[in-house]
Chains A and B, each alone.
Chain A
Amino acid sequence: MTPIEPAGIEFRDVGFSLPDGRALLKQLNLHVNPGETLVLLGRSGSGKTTTMKLINRLLDPTAGEVRVEGKVTIEWDPIRLRRRIGYVIQEIGLFPHLTVEENIGVVPRLEGWDAARIHARARELLALVGLDADRFGGRLPRELSGGQRQRVGVARALAADPPVILLDEPFGALDPITRREIQQEFKSLQKELGKTMVFVTHDIGEAFALATRIALLKDGEMILLGAPQALLESEHPEARAFAACFQDGQSSGSKP
């Protein structure tokens, strides 16, 4: 398989409003560099998921433009665009009527790969996310634990080797221990794959563990963009609120 160059994503003065006029996102300017992991951080309703859906055209901007690989999204054929972008959402996103292997093979099958190649790719990816293909390949999602499901979700997003991967609170429903394990695994996967990733979370600890840069959103506006350290140093009250959570988490974690 020819390696695919990681691609950049650019937001220019992007706004998104509902038909009733409510603005979910205002004046967003943001450049996601090829190969970096950008974490969109914020409370519920801050516009993180909206920002993400603007990238793979599940939504179209009502102001400004989004560019993927230099091309404005509304000029992309949405189907072609989405097949170049891996998409991981909370565990519920696995198709409940398909086996693990079939779930991983969805995009390759849509792309017309032959069965043998899909099978080989699924096994390769299961190994990559640390699942035994012989044991898990034939199972249905409901026969997996939460952590296993998440691994399959990541494997599925990687299946057709897309240059960009979007992850919408992928580990949100996991218990803290599994969550930490899978974050560690994900981090090494990141290094290995070097893909452009946009990662949505409301968990500051997760953001620190995985981010190249963090974009902090509040009420549809980006109030900070920078390396994790910049967030700890910011004077903005929302940044300080998140920073406080992070420090609480650290200190309580270090108590004997």
Chain B
Amino acid sequence: MILWEFLARHSGELAGLIFEHLLLVVVSTGIAIVIGVPLGVLLTRKPALSKPVLGFANIMQTVPSLALFGFLIPLNIYVFNLKIVGGIGARTAIVALVLYALLPIIRNTFIGISNVDPAIRDAGRGMGMTDRQLLFQVELPLALGVIIAGIRVATVICVGTATIAAAIDAGGLGRYIFRGLRANDNVLILAGAVPAALIAMGADLLLGYVERTIQLGRRAKTRSRKLLWSGAAAALVLVGLGFFFMQQPGGRIAVGSKDFTEQVILGEILAQAIEAKSGLPVERRFDLGGNLAHEALVAGEVDLYVEYTGTALLAILKGQPLTDPQEVLRRVKADYANRFQLEWTEPLGFNNTFAILVRAEDARKLNLKTVSDAARVSAQWRAGFGQDFMSRADGYPGFARAYGFHFQEIREMDLSLTYRALAEKQVDLIAGNSTDGLISRYGLIQLKDDKRYFPPYDAIPVVRQAALARHPELRAVLQRLGGILTVDEMRKLNFAVDGEKRHPKEVVREFLMKNGVLR
């Protein structure tokens, strides 16, 4: 029942997210129909094409959505001055959704028309119908039920996949789901997931009804043709609307963030400081998953965000792990300037490194102080690591080698879930982030990295040189933010949002007022 209370309290925001979600789904499905139906018809005329086209659509469906987003963001494809592919936001989400929705629509159009009885086709041709007349007066009306069934499948796929669009700042109900995952908050996850499931079910029922009506309908021909045309017209209008909304307003400073709480707080700090100190209008493009924030920065979709030196060195520049903070900063500064025309400004003052965490009672009982202490007793332990930690260069393999860990079992899960897993004794050791508010919430103990295995992760705003040149006043704002945070302070801010469920905007405003950045 907490869910209903939450939904009732946030009904305005929820309505907005539902609208965004529906817009994504309707626009994408509309575009997929406009492309997919004619393509399906073409395949019935040129059957040699059917294998490669259906094969391509099939492969698109198997590409994981985040990978597809990552591939689309750096692209820059224009049609008549309108950017139609590339960047972050709804545009890229729609392109990806269209690619997912195409297969069922093309396939069902192709099958629906191919399955029209050859005798009926012969009758039409024998009566002197041209190919176009045969298509519009006989084949399409008879295939319409099957085509609608394909559209129905495509729509349901879109409703589901659109939740992931929140990872690239395209909005929709995915915002609640990602926010909930980040904050370890089941109510928030359900607040996104339940309406999304209801939309999917509603769309399925509605289109199922349309499908049945068409199959049973008398005078189906005139009606189906009207339906076809009005559907096509509505889709075109929506596509136009979609393009209209997808164009970015110019002249603003776009602040980005990755998709976890600390990043949203840091993004908010940058945004509020810029608004207050420079008076420039700011656009917030938060919650970008994976390396998407970096990709968006390089693509010029975002002007700045806070990056960590170690992450830049390892995940973006693909360098070898280094442990000297000065050396790391020197390397990333030089490489970012050369390769991406990006500038590292003033460090914010804290290092968000990996924190090897255990339960307080274990630390006390076994007298654990350092990671080496834990390695000695870990033979019967289960570890829980995020996917990120398992795969990165400074992650698990080198870590286990450096300290000589041999766990009984390693469970790979979402980072935000590992804290709870540790607290609930499903695992015995995790690698969290040193600034994570959940560390204090669950009363976990951080062990000392006594072999200095982990590289430094100093948090520093990274800015496009072009943005600095256009708005020199940005530099002063970023200088003012230098050294403003400590690890402890960052942990408090994180806990205020994750633990106390306060809004990041409010938490940041308080913090900046306390530090005299805001008045």
Contact = CB atoms under 8 A, between A and B. Distances in A.
A80 interface: yes
A92 interface: yes
Given A98-B221, A140-B218, A93 B120 contact: yes
Nearest to B129: A110
A96 interface: yes
Given A93-B120, A97-B220, A97-B224, A107 B142 contact: no
Contacts of B126: 56, 58, 82, 85, 87, 89, 166
A95 to B, nearest CB: 6
A99 interface: yes
A216 B224 CA distance: 45
B128 interface: yes
B219 A96 contact: no
Nearest to B131: A79
A10 B126 CA distance: 19
A82 B141 contact: no
A102 interface: yes
A212 interface: no
B448 to A, nearest CB: 77
Nearest to B130: A79
Contacts of B220: 97
Interface residues of B, number: 22
A99 B128 contact: no
Given A92-B119, A97-B141, A110 B221 contact: no
A85 B123 CA distance: 12
Given A97-B142, A98-B221, A102-B221, A82 B119 contact: no
Contact of A58 (B125, B133, B137, B142): B125
Contacts of A58: 122, 125-126
A102 B224 CA distance: 14
Given A87-B126, A87-B127, A92 B120 contact: yes
B124 interface: yes
Given A81-B128, A92-B120, A98-B221, 14 more contacts: A56-B126, A79-B128, A79-B130, A80-B128, A83-B127, A83-B128, A87-B126, A89-B119, A93-B119, A95-B138, A106-B137, A107-B127, A107-B128, A140-B218
Nearest to A109: B137
Contacts of B138: 95, 97
B123 A93 contact: yes
B5 interface: no
A183 interface: no
A20 B187 CA distance: 68
Given A97-B141, A98-B221, A106 B127 contact: yes
A106 B127 CA distance: 8
Nearest to B123: A93
Contacts of B127: 82-83, 87, 106-107, 110, 156
A29 interface: no
26 contacts: A58-B125, A78-B128, A79-B128, A79-B130, A82-B125, A82-B126, A83-B127, A87-B123, A87-B127, A89-B122, A92-B123, A93-B119, A93-B120, A95-B120, A95-B124, A95-B221, A96-B142, A97-B142, A97-B220, A99-B219, A107-B127, A110-B127, A110-B128, A110-B133, A156-B127, A166-B126
Interface string A165-205: 01000000000000000000000000000000000000000
B117 interface: yes
A140 B130 CA distance: 24
Nearest to A49: B122
Nearest to B133: A110
A117 B128 CA distance: 20
Interface in A89-139: 89-90, 92-99, 102, 106-107, 110, 138
B222 to A, nearest CB: 8
A82 B128 contact: yes
Contacts of A94: 123
B128 A92 contact: no
A95 B122 CA distance: 11
Nearest to A84: B128
A200 B439 CA distance: 88
Contacts of A56: 126
Interface residues of A, number: 28
A95 B138 CA distance: 7
A161 B263 CA distance: 78
Interface in B85-137: 117, 119-120, 122-130, 133, 137
A85 B127 CA distance: 8
Contacts of B117: 92
Contacts of A90: 119
Interface string A134-156: 00001010000000000000001
Contacts of B123: 87, 89, 92-95
Nearest to B142: A97
Nearest to A92: B119
A102 B222 CA distance: 10
Contacts of B218: 99, 138, 140
A81 B126 CA distance: 9
Contacts of A93: 119-120, 122-123
A42 to B, nearest CB: 20
Nearest to A140: B218
Contacts of A92: 117, 119-120, 123
A97 B221 contact: yes
Nearest to A159: B127
Interface string B214-227: 00001111001000
B478 to A, nearest CB: 67
A78 B127 CA distance: 10
Contacts of A87: 123, 126-127
Contacts of B128: 78-83, 107, 110
A58 B127 CA distance: 10
A79 B131 CA distance: 10
Nearest to A82: B128
A163 B316 CA distance: 78
Nearest to B138: A95
Contacts of A99: 218-219
A140 B125 CA distance: 21
Contacts of A98: 221
Q: Nearest 6 CB-CB pairs, A to B?
A: A82-B128, A83-B128, A93-B123, A87-B126, A97-B220, A92-B119
Interface in A58-95: 58, 78-83, 85, 87, 89-90, 92-95
A89 B126 CA distance: 10
A163 B452 CA distance: 98
B488 to A, nearest CB: 73
Contacts of A97: 138, 141-142, 220-221, 224
Contacts of B141: 97
